[in-house]
Amino acid sequence: MRHRTVRTKGSLSQQTAKLMVFKLIDAASKTWRRLKGTNQLPKVIAGVKFIDGIEVIPNTESHAA
Identify the residue with better confidence: 26 or 1. 26
pLDDT at 35: 75
> How far is residue 24's CA from residue 31's CA, in Å, rounded to a whole number?
12
Tell me the average pLDDT across 54-65: 74
Least confident of 5-9, 13-17, 57-61: 5-9
Would you kindly state where each structural domain of the chain is located, as residue ranges? 14-55
Radius of gyration of the CA atoms of the chain, in A: 24
Tens digit of pLDDT for each residue in 34-57? Answer: 777 778 888 888 988 888 888 888
Mean pLDDT, all residues of the chain = 80
Q: What is the pTM assigned to this prediction?
A: 0.40
Residues 6+ apart with CB under 8 A from 53: 37
